[in-house]
Amino acid sequence: MGIVSPGFQGRPRTQEPALPPGQYLTEDFPVLSAGPTPRVSLDTWEFVISAENGSEHRWSWQELMALPQETPTVDIHCVTRWSKLGTSWQGVSLDTLLAEVDTGAHFALAHSYGGYTTNLPLDDLRGGQAWVVHTFDGAPLPAEHGGPARLLVPHLYFWKSAKWVRGLRLKTMDEPGFWETAGYHDYGDPWREQRYQGD
């Protein structure tokens, strides 16, 4: 007879969260920032999509809030290895915003108040995968987390979800953004652990 009790089953697998490789679970919401926090008044806030032909589409805060609102609940994964599951947001789908834009571009460079940039394939901003969000957990998004509004692209590492987002520049050629020009991966898929260039 063995020394292991017949009832011993080990840790139930069902309690293990579905985390991408190399990530750990956090219940907090760590604040990461590459610079001072911009303070943007809602009176002057705007979101601008510039198409590759030079045309611009602008939304004021009031115009953004008048658009159809969605309430995604998603898992987010930071390249610094924390993941937070089941985060609740409210905002406008990029599908809604891009529907007003005539473009043949394949890439987007998101840019923010404060100067931050990050690049994404335009297809990753379509198909119910990306939002401009202004509410987190039922409350206005705090400035330290990117308020008044940030990009939310949860299927990529969270540095792609630009805080204090101000607009998108649509491009025919890919142009790397702030972290992508400093060693980080161009695409950043957490499930393929695309942290750094060449991963």
Partner 1 sequence: MTEMSYLDGNMLDGPMRELFTVDLSSAVGRCESCGMTGSMASLHVYSHAPGLVARCPSCEAVMMRLVRGPDRAWLDLRGTTFLQFPMPMEQPFPGPL
Contact set with partner 1 (CB under 8 A): 30-36, 79-80, 115, 159, 179, 181-184, 195-196
CA 189 – CA 20 distance, rounded (Å): 9
Please count the CA atoms within 13 angstroms of the CA of 149 that sit on its side-chain side: 29
- Written as one string, the DSSP assignment of 10-31 is -S-GGGS----TT-EE-SS---
For partner 1, the closer of residues 93 and 118 by Cβ is 118
Please count the CA atoms within 13 angstroms of the CA of 43 that sit on its side-chain side: 0
For partner 1, the closer of residues 171 and 185 by Cβ is 185
**What minimum distance in Å lies between the beta carbon of 181 and partner 1?**
7
Signed CA dihedral, 63, 69, 70, 76: sign only: positive
**What minimum distance in Å lies between the beta carbon of 32 and partner 1?**
5
For partner 1, the closer of residues 100 and 144 by Cβ is 144
For partner 1, the closer of residues 35 and 127 by Cβ is 35
**What minimum distance in Å lies between the beta carbon of 75 and partner 1?**
19
**What minimum distance in Å lies between the beta carbon of 199 and partner 1?**
9
- Written as one string, the DSSP assignment of 165-198 is EEEEEEESS----TTGGGTB-SS--GGGT--BTT
